[in-house]
Amino acid sequence: MNINLQLQSITNVEADVLVVNLFEGVTAPDGATGAVNEALGGQIAALIEAGDLTGKFKETRLLYTFGKLQAKRVLIVGLGEAEEFSANRARSAAAVAAKFAREHGAATLATIVHGAGHGGMEVEHAAQALAEGTLLGLYTVKNLKKHQAVSKLTDLIVVESDESKQAAIEKGLEIGRIYAEGTNYARDLINEPANILTPTRLAELATDVAVQTGMGISVLEEAEMRELGMNALLSIGQGSDEESKLIVMSYHGNPDSEEILGLVGKGVTFDTGGYSLKPMAGMENMKTDMGGAGAVIGAMQAIGRLKPKANIVAVIGAVENMVSGNAIKPGDVVVAMNGKSIEIVNTDAEGRVVLADALTYAIEKCGVTKVVNAATLTGAISIALGRKLAGMFSNDSEFASEVKDAFHRSGERVWEMPLVEDYKASFSSNVADMKNTGGRDGGSITAALILREFVDNTPWVHLDVAGVARDQDGHGDLNPKGATGFGVRTLVELALGQN
């Protein structure tokens, strides 16, 4: 989508749809909305007086201009109460307006920046939220349908009459575009059918991102992983005809620092559950079991474009968990890269086994000094937190606070969960150092405790995104049905915070 800033009067901009806003409780519109109201002979004020326009959050009203403005139509979007306004509300308002324009066949959408006046947001942040909300809201799932509806909406015109705000708006729009495009790229990866997005294809696409953004890339094949003793990761993929891969992306933006932030993603490109077979209903959605890997790659794309003064390494364990004569079986024991043995009692608890070696590799071979892993790890996390929040676990309170601050800035939602030491007994094994699951009760906590076995004393945060990586209904303002790209914006914020 083309995004352009025009420094001119709101009444002179040419567009199929022009968006202005209204806060709840405002009785006399001012600013850009007031200018439009005056040009239209007081139509907006009349709607307010009649009680047909209140400014409630996401309320919309469409007006035709009949030549009184250069724009063909005016869309008024409610922003809710000014005291409750936030970047998330700015994103939602932008998404609502963009979807409205698309549904009404508009090719050009003009809008003011929401929230930089009465909303109290800094101009740059408001412009960033505008770009993010527009591009996230307009995302559509790529598909292979023979006949596809094509959106006519190609241009977003941001209108501002105050020249002193130009630099801040342009910077915010560009940052917002990069955040949204990284998220949408992650969505594309996660939505891709598993017969197309194999571990090999995921490695190829990660390589494309690295080359395009000028970062380092290496892909370890099975023979190399075997030499390193990565038997845990390899065991999960051994039942598939598709070869497993370890993808390593590296961005070095601060050669004067020895600090390296690690981003580790679970990349199970399809998960049958192995011999602990998943139920038939909904198994097609297991193509999204690489939601953590998708988020990491999308974040690295954005990081490569934003160029923070920081060092970041991404490690992705890419495997396919299938059933065959070569597949791992319940009761088998594998020895991970760090020498710890794992009894596989449930082949559907595969993500933690893959991450065991990916985390070890990031710490031992890449030298990361702190690490975040993102994984669609447990169904239990959505039982605990629903489908609006990710679960977060950490062995380091200071690093946990840093990650939570990044979540606060991104607008994505997380809740910190406990690591209950008493639960370690549930995955004790009499034939190995541990079992790969502690059973149903406290499943997300025991999974996190198992991961902790592979980070030693390195500051670590585990994000269980199983409940939020996919939108079941697609009724949200920013998310269509399918992959959400959850975590991209937070990981980018975390990377920028390393400056």
User: Which residues are part of the catalytic machinery?
Assistant: 278, 352
Q: Is the pLDDT of residue 339 over 80?
A: yes
What's residue 144's pLDDT? Answer: 81
Q: Say if strands 390-394 and 414-416 run parallel, antiparallel, or are unpaired.
A: parallel
Per-residue pLDDT averaged across 392-418, rounded?
Answer: 98
Binding residues: 266, 271, 289, 348, 350
Q: What pLDDT is stored for residue 149 in this prediction?
A: 78
Inform me whether the pLDDT recorded for 146 exceeds 90: no
Examine domains 2-180 and 192-496 and report if their fold is the same. Answer: no
Whether 3 shows a pLDDT value over 90: the answer reads yes
Q: Residue ranges per domain, the chain?
A: 2-180, 192-496
Q: What band does 147 get if pLDDT is binned at 50, 70 and 90?
A: confident
Calculate what percentage of the chain has a pLDDT beyond 90: 95
Whether the CB-CB separation of 493 and 406 falls below 8 Å is answered with: yes
**3-class DSSP state for residue 2?**
strand
- The 10s digit of each residue's pLDDT in 216-246 is 999 999 999 999 999 999 999 999 999 999 9
Beta strands in 37-146 (DSSP E): 60-64, 73-80, 108-111
d(C-alpha 151, C-alpha 153), whole Å: 5
The residue among 404, 367, 381 whose CA lies nearest residue 494 is 404
Query: Are 439 and 426 contacting, i.e. CB atoms less than 8 angstroms apart?
Result: yes
Known binding positions for Mn(2+): 266, 271, 289, 348, 350
Provide the CATH number for the domain formed by 2-180 in this structure: 3.40.220.10
CATH topology of domain 192-496: Aminopeptidase (3.40.630)
Distances (CA, A) of 406 to 410, 460, 487: 6, 15, 10
